[in-house]
């Protein structure tokens, strides 16, 4: 009896222990499942919190960027674009860095903030692109001429057409008299200062400050038969004169100013001792200041006599070289005109070419004034389209005859399609009405 009860007790004890083990295992499983769920919830929470933090950081960065853009006036960015575009220094950093890369980056800042685009400017931009790219395609299919084409320069010109077209289209509202006043003032002050520094360094310390050479580029052409002619940041004094006329045009036509800054830039022209600069000084001064009075005629006559006397030897030298056929510059230009008229290039133009492959015969291409360059480079039909657009912009967008004359003269020297600032100025003439420019 006792043995039977002991066996029953052992069985009962075994069952109870198994039940307790099962219960313990069940509770442990529940705890493990709970821990897994908690861990999964924490991981999900951390993931969501990470995304939220990243989104918050992104929103904060955009907020800081927008605040920075608001703090930095968009007009200041636009002035910086013009400033860098004017630094056509004969060095890789000047041509590709200052005048192309930096303005491109800064233009992006304005485009991001813009939500309005001028349809007329966009249309003109599209037309320019069609003319340039069509010209490249036609000439590239010319087996005898394609090897001379500078296709990289075509892309450079096309990029500038797009950049300044979209820039002018999106920033039209920024182009008021306040902007042109400040922009022209900055441009005149800087470039005249660079010129004066060269004059002082040479005539006092006999040091030739060559900005292009300093930056690892080509030497400027400052010496002419022993005469020192300061060039500013440019390759030669006539290029300085071409750019300075544009700066003066911005101040006179679009800012409506004839103040000390305008006069400073104007006086700097004959300081270069360039024949073109001296003639430009006379033309601009006559357009802006001349009034049909006896006293004014007398002052103009005295000024012309003085300038003619100071430039007499240089003019005689250039004339004698031209007559004798030893004036490489003018003879090259005459050669280009002759070749264009008497060949198939009458319809297509020479295009953008590698001049070094012609031993100097086509060095004058691109330096024949805006009115001739269009035909020389793009042919008679495309040239006519560009010329009509230009004249229409001058006539319809500018109402004052003196300003019209100034604009027509401004592109006599400043006419190279490879200069980024040229496209800004051309878009400005075609698309901006000076009577709608307000403070």
Per-residue pLDDT of the chain in tens (439 residues, 90 and over written 9): 445 555 555 555 555 555 555 555 555 656 666 666 666 666 655 555 555 555 665 665 665 555 555 545 788 999 999 999 999 998 999 988 999 999 999 988 888 877 777 888 888 999 999 999 999 999 988 868 888 898 889 999 999 999 999 888 888 888 889 999 999 999 999 999 999 999 999 999 999 999 999 999 999 999 987 789 999 999 999 999 999 999 999 999 999 999 999 999 999 999 998 889 988 998 999 899 887 666 666 666 676 666 666 655 665 565 565 555 555 566 677 778 888 877 778 888 998 888 877 776 777 777 788 999 999 889 999 999 999 999 999 999 998 999 999 999 999 988 888 889 999 999 999 887 666 665 5
Closest by alpha carbon to 424, among 70, 183, 206, 198?
183
Beta strands in 116-254 (DSSP E): 223-224, 227-228
Question: What pLDDT is attached to residue 24?
Answer: 57
Residue with tokens 């450079």: 156
CA 209, 212, 217, 219 dihedral sign is negative
The structure's pTM equals 0.80
**Packing angle, helices 275-289 and 294-310, rounded to 10:** 170
Closest by alpha carbon to 314, among 358, 273, 370?
273
Burial class (CB in 10 A: 0-12, 13-18, 19+), 406: buried
Domain ranges of the chain: 1-71, 118-436
How many CB atoms sit inside 10 A of residue 16's CB? 10
Q: Please report, to the nearest 10 degrees, the dihedral formed by the alpha carbons of residues 242, 273, 288, 298 taken in order.
A: -160
Question: What are the backbone dihedrals phi and psi of residue 158, each rounded to the nearest 5 degrees, phi first?
Answer: -60, -40
Question: What are the backbone dihedrals phi and psi of residue 276, each rounded to the nearest 5 degrees, phi first?
Answer: -65, -40
How many CB atoms sit inside 10 A of residue 313's CB? 11
User: What does the radius of gyration of the chain's CA atoms come to, in whole angstroms?
Assistant: 36
* Cα–Cα distance, 230 to 208 (Å, whole number): 9
Question: What pLDDT is attached to residue 190?
Answer: 97
Question: What pLDDT is attached to residue 2?
Answer: 46
Question: What pLDDT is attached to residue 41?
Answer: 61
């Amino acid at each position: 009896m006792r043995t039977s009860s002991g066996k029953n007790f052992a069985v009962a004890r075994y069952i109870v222990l198994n039940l307790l083990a099962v219960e313990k295992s069940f509770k442990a499983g529940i705890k493990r499942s709970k821990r897994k769920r908690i861990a999964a919830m924490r991981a999900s929470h951390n993931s969501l919190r990470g995304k939220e933090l990243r989104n918050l950081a992104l929103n904060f960065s955009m907020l800081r960027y927008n605040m920075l853009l608001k703090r930095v006036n968009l007009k200041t960015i636009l002035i910086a674009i013009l400033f860098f575009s004017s630094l056509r220094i004969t060095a890789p950093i000047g041509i590709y860095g200052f005048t192309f890369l930096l303005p491109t980056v800064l233009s992006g800042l304005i485009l991001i903030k813009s939500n309005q685009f001028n349809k007329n400017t966009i249309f003109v931009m599209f037309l320019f692109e069609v003319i340039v790219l069509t010209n490249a395609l036609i000439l590239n299919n010319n087996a005898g001429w394609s090897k001379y084409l500078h296709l990289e320069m075509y892309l450079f010109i096309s990029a500038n057409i797009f950049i300044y077209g979209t820039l002018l289209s999106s920033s039209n509202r920024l182009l008021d008299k306040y902007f042109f006043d400040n922009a022209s003032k900055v441009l005149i002050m800087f470039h005249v200062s660079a010129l004066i520094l060269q004059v002082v360094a040479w005539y006092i310390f006999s040091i030739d400050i060559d900005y292009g050479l300093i930056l690892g580029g080509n030497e400027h052409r400052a010496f002419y038969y022993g005469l020192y002619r300061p060039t500013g940041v440019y390759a030669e004094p006539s290029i300085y004169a071409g750019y300075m006329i544009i700066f003066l045009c911005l101040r006179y036509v679009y800012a409506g100013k004839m103040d000390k800054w305008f006069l400073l830039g104007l006086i700097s022209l004959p300081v270069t001792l360039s024949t073109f600069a001296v003639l430009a000084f006379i033309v601009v001064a006559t357009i802006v200041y001349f009034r049909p009075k006896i006293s004014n005629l007398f002052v103009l006559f005295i000024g012309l006599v003085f300038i003619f006397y100071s430039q007499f030897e240089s003019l005689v030298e250039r004339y004698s070289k031209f007559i004798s056929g030893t004036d490489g510059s003018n003879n090259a230009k005459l050669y280009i005109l002759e070749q264009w008229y008497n060949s198939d290039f009458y319809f297509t133009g020479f295009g953008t070419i590698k001049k070094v492959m012609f031993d100097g015969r086509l060095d004058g291409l691109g330096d024949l004034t805006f009115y001739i360059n269009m035909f020389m480079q793009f042919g008679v039909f495309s040239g006519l389209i560009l010329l009509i657009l230009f004249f229409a912009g001058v006539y319809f967008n500018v109402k004052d005859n003196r300003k019209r004359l100034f604009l027509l003269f401004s592109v006599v020297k400043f006419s190279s399609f490879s200069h980024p600032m040229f496209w800004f100025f051309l878009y400005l003439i075609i698309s901006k009405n000076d009577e709608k420019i307000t403070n």
